[in-house]
């Protein structure tokens, strides 16, 4: 379970995040929507441990996560918007970096783990920089899941991807959640938002849960 309470973040004189609180249960997909620059990426960076909050609390499965690299590493897989890959390396070598050189574990995952389900098997020798945008995103997700974290945090996962790639990613996310994983994502894609069991709207640095049943086609009314 993810529980965030009273998280806030300030840049100079601007309060970017104000008293952010939300929760997510095992098997849930939580979507965070809002206009560009409203603080979504800042919040995800805090959840993923790449940015320090100025206050508040955050627990993952009962363990305090703010400032704890150990807890973050144990539970979190983070896929940022920017490409984290070493483009001059092969698909396999990129994966090996994230698998910390554990070839046996990587081989298993290329057979029936995240890398296989995301369609990377058979592409191991290809250079990452020559992959399509969709394949790069799939590789980024597989890299992030090297430690099989139970919380998958994704910043705009479907941005600029073709329909086939989006479908592959959605299919994997359905499987991930069915096995008890938690997905927290930001998105402007209606199809991604529709698969969320909870939707939060970020506006002016605050976060508010959207009432159940509100049509996502009308989300712009709340932004």
Q: Range of 96's domain?
A: 2-221
The pLDDT tens digits of the residues spanning 133-185 come to 999 999 999 999 999 999 999 999 988 788 889 999 999 999 999 999 999 99
Paired with 4 in beta bridges are 22, 58
Per-residue pLDDT, 84 = 92
Distance CA 84, CA 76 (A): 16
Instruction: Name the stretches of the chain with pLDDT < 70.
Output: none
Per-residue pLDDT, 140 = 96
Distance CA 211, CA 70 (A): 35
Per-residue pLDDT, 200 = 96
* Domains: count for the chain: 1
Contact 7, 20 (CB under 8 A): yes
Which CATH number covers residue 79? 3.40.50.300
């Amino acid at each position: 379970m993810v529980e965030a309470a009273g998280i806030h973040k300030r840049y100079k004189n601007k309060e970017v995040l104000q008293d952010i609180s939300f929760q997510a249960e095992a098997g849930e997909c939580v979507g965070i929507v809002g206009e560009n620059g409203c603080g979504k990426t800042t919040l995800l960076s805090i959840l993923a441990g790449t940015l320090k909050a100025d206050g508040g609390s955050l627990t993952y499965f009962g363990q305090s996560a703010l400032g704890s690299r150990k807890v973050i590493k144990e539970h979190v897989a983070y896929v940022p918007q920017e490409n984290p890959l070493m483009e001059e390396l092969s698909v396999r070598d990129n994966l090996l970096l994230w698998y910390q050189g554990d070839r046996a574990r990587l081989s298993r995952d290329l057979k029936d783990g995240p890398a296989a389900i995301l369609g990377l098997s058979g592409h191991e020798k290809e250079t990452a920089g020559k992959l399509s945008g969709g394949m790069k995103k799939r590789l980024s997700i597989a890299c992030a899941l090297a430690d099989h974290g139970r919380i998958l945090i994704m910043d705009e996962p479907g941005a600029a991807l073709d329909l086939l790639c989006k479908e592959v990613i959605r299919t994997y996310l359905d499987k991930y959640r069915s096995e008890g994983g938690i997905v927290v994502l930001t998105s402007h894609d209606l199809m991604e938002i529709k698969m969320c069991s909870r939707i939060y709207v970020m506006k002016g640095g605050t976060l508010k849960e959207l009432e159940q049943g509100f049509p996502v086609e009308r989300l712009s009314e709340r932004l």
